[in-house]
A and B are shown apart, each in its own frame.
Chain A
Amino acid sequence: MNNKDSVGIVEPSSASFKDPLLLECGKELKGFELVYETYGKLNNENSNAVLICHALSGNHHAAGYHKDSEKRAGWWDSLIGPNKAIDTNKYFVVSPNNLGGCHGTTGPISINPDTNKIFGPNFPVLTVRDWTNSQAMLADHLNIKAWHAVIGGSLGGMQALDWSIAYPERIKKAGVIAAAPKLSAQNIAFNEVARQAITSDPDYQEGNYLLENTSPKSGLRLARMVGHITYLSDESMKSKFGRELKEEKLGFGFDAEFQVESYLRHQGDVFSDTFDANTYLLMTKVLDYFDPADEFNGDLMKAFEPILAQILVLSFSSDWRFSPSRSKEITDALIGVKKKVSHIEIESSLGHDSFLFPEERYVEVLKAFLGSPS
């Protein structure tokens, strides 16, 4: 563990909700658990709370370490901590694992109270709004009337945007980072390839792999590999791997010969060891379904009408998964309905993943936005 500038050792908490949660699909969850971490201190006015929304495969462990021996810090440790972009000396940071997750929050690997069996493939398909609603219950649980800010990247950015629409009075600022107002056909296509990789794995067992004592690891691995390509840019892959070979010369076979192949295989391996396949399917569906304009005949401006929060839309020049022009759609619709919005494009060669790295301007912009009078 690297202690410098870190929130240090953190311990996850869990909030248990007994009230049923009506989901957008029409089904109901009879109570649920949300696992979350907090960093920093809540002030006396309960006015300095910042909600962190994770992306597709994220979880509640956004900063610090669970134990001394942990090699890697939380997924957004580069931005969350003392004096960092999201300064834990100033803010009380709350980072939950989304409903449907597989790291302690109620999800497909939890027990269905109706059947006393694992939910598995029968866990209801969720939406971003379901997450927002469940997080509002977490805010109540923590006595937070209004978030100083809700921030997230990618799917997390969409979540922050949804917060500003669904609970306008409960959010002062929204950081919408590397996001889009909805997925494009190309985005959905990549998600579909990922889902097909999982469901066509014979070990998937129609989602009942835990009951059948199998594990669709090769499918999940493939899903992650294809997803991972969309998180990087051509430029960053070129500079990271180029056409470097593992061995000195070509082997004229189908083993991983290029560095990029073994990198992707490694990413897939690590991911498939720690992630649940049904959760992955679910999360990609949540992404596909996100479209706040849908109930307004595609009119994004109408969807944004209720917003009161000050919004920062941040995009990255080399992001092709949710490119700057997709983020600009959000900004332009917000301008169209006279909402408080700032739009910044950060120069970065790291593709969609840029939002995870502490590029100097990115940090300064986020810091200024969070600290400024709203």
Chain B
Amino acid sequence: MKTAEVIENWVSSGSRILDLGCGDGSILEALKLNKSVGGYGIEIDKENIQACLEKGLEVIEQNIDEGLSNFQDKSFDTVLVSQTIQVLKNPKQALDEITRIGHQSIIVIPNFGHWKSRLTVFLGGKMPVTETLPEKWYETPNIHLCTVADFENLCSELGIVIEEKKILNSEGKVSTISSGWSNLLSSAVIYRLSR
């Protein structure tokens, strides 16, 4: 199973989605097609916005770092945040907002605690460049990388409940490893959160 399938399984048919950092709209388009969802993508990259428009998706040009106060409490069934939280200036505030707006939130994060990342930091003394973190330190948009353990601590601090969690291996597929090892062995994790 891949990330997209996990997300589809967690989203109910006909529900309303807010996709924060929706990229070129691929996930939203698939959800619209397969699950008849409605909703919006939020994006700041102009090329991505154009791709969304061409797909006929609703896209709002908005910088998440400047707040999400224009979205009402619990106004979406799902707030989807795929590979976005680590590029935000204030992930804690964003997480607070995300869980305010959505009945549930689906968050995909790259795991900085993955063994490949750890090896490059501790053995090579360099910032990691791996499959899920392909950019060098000086050009990466990932300004707030965290480990699975860090993220889960933040959730508990904010009173956010982790309803479900799936672990992705380095091929981007859901792995069957026990969650106790997830901090070391997963390259990314998908969470279903509620509050």
Contact = CB atoms under 8 A, between A and B. Distances in A.
Nearest to A312: B53
Contact of A336 (B49, B58, B72): B72
A237 interface: no
Given A332-B70, A368-B50, A341 B56 contact: no
A371 B58 CA distance: 14
Nearest to B52: A342
A103 interface: no
A340 B58 contact: yes
A328 interface: yes
A363 to B, nearest CB: 11
B61 A335 contact: no
A336 B60 CA distance: 13
Interface in A350-374: 361, 364-365, 368-369, 371-374
B50 A364 contact: yes
A345 interface: yes
A307 to B, nearest CB: 13
A339 B46 CA distance: 22
B16 interface: yes
A365 B57 CA distance: 12
Given A335-B40, A335-B71, A341 B50 contact: no
A300 B38 CA distance: 21
Contact of B46 (A328, A331, A342, A361): A361
A98 B7 CA distance: 50
A59 B185 CA distance: 67
Contacts of B50: 364-365, 368
A328 B56 contact: no
Contacts of B61: 343-345
B78 to A, nearest CB: 14
Nearest to B69: A332
B16 A372 contact: no
B60 A343 contact: yes
Given A343-B60, A345-B61, A372 B72 contact: no
Contacts of A341: 40, 58, 60
A246 interface: no
A331 B46 CA distance: 18
14 contacts: A335-B60, A340-B38, A340-B58, A341-B40, A342-B52, A342-B57, A343-B59, A343-B62, A365-B49, A368-B53, A371-B54, A372-B54, A373-B55, A373-B56
Given A335-B40, A374-B56, 14 more contacts: A310-B58, A328-B70, A336-B75, A340-B58, A342-B40, A342-B58, A342-B59, A343-B62, A345-B61, A365-B53, A368-B54, A371-B54, A372-B53, A373-B56
